[in-house]
Amino acid sequence: MTILEKFSHLRVAYEQLRSLGSDPFTVRFDGVLSPTEGLREGRRTILFGTNNYLGLTFDPSCIEAGIEALMQSGTGTTGSRIANGSYDAHTRLEQALADFYGRRRGMVFTTGYQANLGIISTVVGKGDYLILDADSHASIYDGARLGTAQVIRFRHNDPEDLRKRLARLPQAGNKLIVVEGIYSMMGDTAPLREIAQVKAEAGAYLLVDEAHSLGVLGRQGRGLAEAAGVEADVDFIVGTFSKTLGSIGGFCVSDLPDFDVLRVACRPYMFTASLPPTLVASTLQALNRLQSDPGLRARLLSNSRRFHSGLDRLGFRLGADATPIVAVVLEDRDLAVAFWNRLLEAGLYVNLALPPATPDGSAILRSSVSAAHTVQQIDTAIGLFAAVGEELGVLSPRPLAAMA
């Protein structure tokens, strides 16, 4: 054994997973044909685990914008914003995001992970407090570890528990509460109205990570804060370009008048290369598409409802009400692995999520629905879930009467 000995428990777990068939770490697509279809081992596979909520990865206008920027400005920036300067497109994207959210300032990061890492580790410091939902994404926990504030967790989606934990803290010190719009594993949304209330009473700040809710929730697609009508109580919105907007990158918008000081204080912003112009351009165009075509969101919503109610009617235990993230919760890990393998063999790709990456130690088959899914693809997916569910004894065989 080597210096990596400390990971032997991970190696054992991983080998066990591999012995049961394919595993998510080695699934390889030989080609991706559209937002909803890939080629795997020579056959077409329906993609239901891509977070491609509006299906914009193949949008012709986004592709064209990307190509144009690629030809005009080259393949990369080869350095950070503070070292090599900003391209015009970086500033335009920041302005477009701020405008979209109706905020004063916006800041773009190279990934969503870095946006959380940077903002969370920087806006609170020594003598301050970070109060995190216990089921927060790894990027939020890592931001907490990088920073110097004291870190407190509250029970997932429990405003009363948050209130209680805030009450235990001393008066002095800034307090930043961090929650997510839609939680990435179970697809549940935060009770944001109640959380905003607690935040206001405690005189704390509130950050909402809208990674999975941008373009999904709210009349204009601004996310949960808009849908819950509490945007004025949210001090920082963080998000990513890697899901709804179909590219890569992250951002934070805010109304703080001195927000821009973060550009010289926030290390995960300062010490990494900035986004290549081609990605900035396709992201900008995706943001345009999101705003100019509300039909995309309407389609996403109706697809989500169709998929969710199809699985619900079959009798699966589901993680939450219909959002584009639909989690089928299974009895145990081995069953989830077997189920996932059978679906993949049958031509359906979903996400396999196992503890410790999942809440409550549950084993989950996580699907994400896209506006680009056809009704036929959704019904095929439901049919495959039904067939494998029966085969593996998760569902009892359907009585004939129910099949009509």
Partner 1 sequence: MHALDALEERIVAELRAVVDPNIEISRNTDISRDLGLDSLTIMNFVMKLEDAFDLSIPLERLPEIQTVADLAKTIRDIQAKV
Which residues belong to the active site?
184, 212, 243
CB of 215 to ligand PLP, least distance (A): 14
**Binding of residue 133 to ligand PLP (CB under 6 A):** no
**Residue number, 366 or 389, with CB nearest to ligand PLP:** 366
Among 142, 188, 209, 233, indicate the residue that binds ligand PLP (CB under 6 A).
209
**Residue number, 250 or 310, with CB nearest to ligand PLP:** 250
CB of 214 to ligand PLP, least distance (A): 11
Q: x/- contact string, 249-288, with ligand PLP (CB under 6 A)?
A: -x--------------------------------------
Contact by Cβ (8 Å): 302, 378: no
In angstroms, the CA 131 to CA 154 distance is 7
CB of 245 to ligand PLP, least distance (A): 10
In angstroms, the CA 373 to CA 48 distance is 9
**Binding of residue 137 to ligand PLP (CB under 6 A):** yes
CB of 355 to partner 1, least distance (A): 7
Could you tell me the two tokens for 141?
A: 């926990």
In angstroms, the CA 42 to CA 65 distance is 31
Distances (CA, A) of 370 to 63, 144, 376: 18, 32, 13
The DSSP H or E segment spanning 239 is strand 236-240
Contact by Cβ (8 Å): 54, 304: no
Among 49, 55, 66, 112, indicate the residue that binds ligand PLP (CB under 6 A).
112
Count of residues in contact with ligand PLP, rule CB under 6 A: 14
In angstroms, the CA 220 to CA 215 distance is 8
Window contacting ligand PLP (CB under 6 A); options: 68-76, 206-214, 289-297, 380-388: 206-214
Could you tell me the two tokens for 314?
A: 């079959």
Binding site for partner 1 (CB under 8 A): 134, 144-145, 150-153, 155, 164-165, 168-170, 355-356, 360-361
CB of 109 to ligand PLP, least distance (A): 8
Contact by Cβ (8 Å): 349, 38: yes
**Binding of residue 180 to ligand PLP (CB under 6 A):** yes
Q: Which residues of 345-376 are buried (b: 16+ CB within 10 A; e: fewer)?
A: ebbbbbbbbbeeebbeebbbbbbbbbbbbeee
* Residues of this chain that bind ligand PLP (CB under 6 A): 111-113, 116, 137, 139, 180, 184, 209, 211-212, 240, 242, 250
